[in-house]
Structure 1
Amino acid sequence: MAREAYMGVLADAGLANGNDIGMAWFGNCGMWTDGQGSIRGQVCLTPLVREGLFPERVPVINVEGGCATASIALHGAWKDVLSGQTDLSLAMGVEKTFSLGAPEKTVQLFDGGIDQYDREEWLSYYAAAGVAAGKPFAPGPGRTIFMDTYAMQAAWHMRTYGTTERQIAMACAKNHQAAVHNPKAQYRFAMTADEVLVDRPVSWPLTRAMCAPIGDGAAAALVCSGAWLARQPEAVRGRAVRIAASTMTAGKYRRLDEPGLSKLAAERAYRAADLTAKDIDVAEVHDATSFCEIYQSEMLGFCGIGEGGRLAESGETAHGGAIPINLSGGLVSKGHPVGATGLSMIDELVLQLRGEAGARQVLGARTALAENGGGVMGFDEAACSVIILQR
């Protein structure tokens, strides 16, 4: 998977090899379950070095941040170029979350995204939150604990703001419909809101269709300076996309009625890019469950707090709407290969800004936003990235 992503990004940039690359950031969360930790990127890239495709002696920095891993890798590559360390930096995310005959490896991978040193803290936190949400915290088989935490947040949102199961199902069905047109999506079948609602229950109010599947994937991006880009052929220069902002925030044990860390990350990104939420033409957000898309619509300023369900119901987040979200199919359909997810979002948005998204294309898209969270700290993600791209 690393080879496929790397060769793909070289081809996209019109390069025969990576000789100009001065730094690499390699994102992965689960290779340690197969016994490989510490030097994951070096292990995966060594065959490419031997073949003269990846340059010798280039530093490879391994990063891990739960589902935000690939966005952290991109953030590092972006800072390399901003600081003048190199004119060309590589960001990669590679992940296997499915292990045939060894489901315990999948469990181990996801367990790494929550505090294993002080389990009592979050067990007590979720138990109290379950009372406030009207949905007891009751983890069960056949799902990760994260689905239960999202379900409690959804229940609280429904109780507090009147959000409905159907509104969540409409956000989900919209993404399944979009994925039909995405050749890279894991699930490429349409669903109606009614079909979503009657799918197998996972943790009320969430059904299976509303939850991101287990799957493998890889993605990569090259971040370059203006000087490097100026030396490239017009065919390359004409497809370049600018990183207008890249911000990161860290999570905490917040109150249910307290805004999440993505709100702060978005506010910082808007300031850095001198933009507002109204300037965003298309977005990819971290819908590990379809409720997350509703919630993040609010945190990113696409609607008011508590209005995310009504926004999804209005159709304005669908293709042709005022703020199209997750036209890739989102995590629930495109897939969620943990350590690669953030860069898969960037891939979709770059296609949109280049006008290369086919049937998913947002006409005239000039500015795009990606929100990607990883791990959990209470009801916050442990890490959150918001990236703004411009044509």
Structure 2
Amino acid sequence: MRDVYVIGSYGTKFAKLPDSSFKTLTREAYQGVLQDAGLESGADIENAWFGNCGMGTFGQRNIRGQVCFTPLVREGLFPERVAMINVEGGCATASMAFHGAWKDVLSGQAELALAVGVEKTFVPDAPERTLEIFEGGIDQFDTQEWQDYYTHAGEASGKPFQPNAGGGTVFMDTYAMQAAYHMKKHGTTQRQIALAASKNHHHGSLNPKAQYQFEVSVDQVMQDRPISWPLTRSMCAPVGDGGAAALLCSEDFLQAQPQAVQDRAVKVRASTLSGGKYRDLDEPGLSHVAAEKAYRLAGLGPDDIEIAEVHDATSFCEIYQSEMLGFCEIGKGGGYIESGATALGGARPINLSGGLVSKGHPVGATGLSMIAELMLQLRGEADARQAAGRSGDGVPRIALAENGGGVIGFDEAACSIVILERTAG
């Protein structure tokens, strides 16, 4: 297999953007990634992958990427006749687009490939559309199957399954039951979950593109409006809109670029996807499986990871994913967060972007926004939230992104792990 590099990455600001369209978000993400890559045009792009979850709710059920790129093709900004592959995988959608572009370059099908994820989930005049988008992330054909699963899980966790009781989606209730079970079995506390939330709101306050750019103390998190116990509003990702993109290239393509471009490129050490199932409550989650695949592919282990972006749709997820990714022992995630290891300046900072709870979570764009944050970190361009790394030169070398989408029981329906390495410097 040949080496693949990320030559450019970009994320729009995440926010509630009722006046921004899918096409305007696509345009910003595309032009932003070209500029970041140091390319004057996209003429060399050979394949493109477009990720989106909810556009069908707005009437565009098919050919979503082709529709969003039509103005760019017409204006000569995007090359004609380029294959545009549309993908959808719940909250892992943008990571699937990244994985497709990575495989195109890896296999020799392309020297330069584009991945884009765009989403709008805030619909102020029709909130039922927002609900429709999220409902697509769980089985709508055999609803009794997951209702029975969650009812059983509620009995085991001591938290009865009462969907939408706090005004959130069913996903918040599933996360809450997992948190309650973890608390019951391992002694994790609500305050430890609040610590993760407060820490990421601090990171988000340093990120000019975060949806929430304000501090929230641990006590404020604890006292915020309940969504589904033990989760409060500050522990849950908000609804919002945004786009993100990445350009991936071969080593031959990279070597033909100016030295300044080469110096900012980052190698993809691994990109893996795994699929979920209805698992036993004590069985390791899907992200553990995806991470093990990625570590094998990269020839690395958890101890090699210096920084990470993980899918904290709720702040409990950071505790859980720290365990699944091997950053700490099973059951010790709460204490790991409490130790300060995952904070800016800690041994392994996690979610320096602010995570989903502060940066925001436009589902079809989230995975590529994680890549954009890690690229900033690995290039030493993250300003006030820059991690120091371990190499002694003040910048991390190895980073990991974990992104899960949809649910099958307590598993994600799909999970992506990407491992990136800075090779310059």
Matches of 1:241 and 1:97 in 2, distance apart? 31
**Which residue in the other structure is 1:10 paired with?**
34
* Matched residue, 1:150: 175
Question: Counterpart of 1:382?
Answer: 413
Residue 253 of structure 1 corresponds to which residue in structure 2?
A: 278
Instruction: Give CA deviations for 1:23-45 in whole Å, capped at 9, x if unaligned.
Output: 00000000000110110000000
Q: Residues of 2 paired with 1:315 and 1:367: CA distance?
A: 20
Q: Could you report, residue by residue, the CA deviation over 1:218-242 in whole angstroms, capped at 9, with x for unpaired residues?
A: 0000000000011111111110011
Letter in 2 for 1:154: A
TM normalised by structure 2 equals 0.91
- What is the deviation of 1:261? 0.7
Q: Does 1:98 align with 2:130?
A: no
Q: Please identify runs of 4+ aligned residues in structure 1 that moved more than 6 A.
A: none
Instruction: Report the equivalent of 1:308.
Output: 333
Query: Is the Cα–Cα contact under 8 Å of residues 179 and 187 in structure 1 kept in the other structure?
Result: yes
Matched to 1:223, the amino acid is L
SS at match of 1:195: helix
Secondary structure of residue in 2 paired with 1:373: strand
Provide the identity percentage.
71
**C-alpha distance in structure 2 between counterparts of 1:60 and 1:140, whole Å:** 37
Counting only pairs closer than 5 Å after superposition, residues 352-391 of structure 1 correspond to structure 2 as 352-363=377-388, 364-391=395-422
Preserved contact between residue 251 and residue 376 of structure 1 (Cα < 8 Å) = yes
Name 1:282's counterpart in structure 2. 307
Question: What is the total number of aligned residue pairs between the two structures?
Answer: 391
- Counterpart check, 1:181 vs 2:212: no
Distance 1:274 1:158 in 2: 34
In the TM superposition, what is the alpha-carbon distance from 1:140 to its structure 2 partner?
2.1
Match of 1:242, SS state, is: strand
**CA distance in structure 2 between the aligned counterparts of 1:197 and 1:208, rounded to whole angstroms:** 9
Letter in 1 for 2:41: N
| CA root-mean-square deviation | 0.6
Point out where structure 2 has 5 or more consecutive residues left out of the alignment.
1-24, 389-394
Helix, strand or coil at the partner of 2:294: helix
Q: Distance in 2 between matches of 1:359 and 1:140?
A: 38
Say which of 61, 69, 73 aligns to 1:49: 73
Residue 31 in structure 1 maps to residue 55 in structure 2 = yes
Q: 2:82 aligns with which of 58, 63, 78?
A: 58
**Cα-to-partner distance string for 1:338-366 (whole Å, 9 max, x where unaligned):** 00000000000000000001111111300
Give the equivalent residue in structure 1 for 2:109.
Answer: 85
> Aligned match of 2:322 in 297, 301, 304?
297
> Which residue number in structure 1 is paired with residue 296 of structure 2?
271
Q: Secondary structure at the match of 1:77?
A: helix
1:81 CA displacement: 0.3
Q: What corresponds to 2:266 in structure 1?
A: 241
CA distance in 1, matches of 2:55, 2:158: 38
- The answer to whether the 8 Å contact 1:17/1:52 transfers is no
User: Following superposition of structure 1 onto structure 2, how do residues 107-118 of structure 1 map, counting pairs within 5 Å?
Assistant: 107-118=131-142
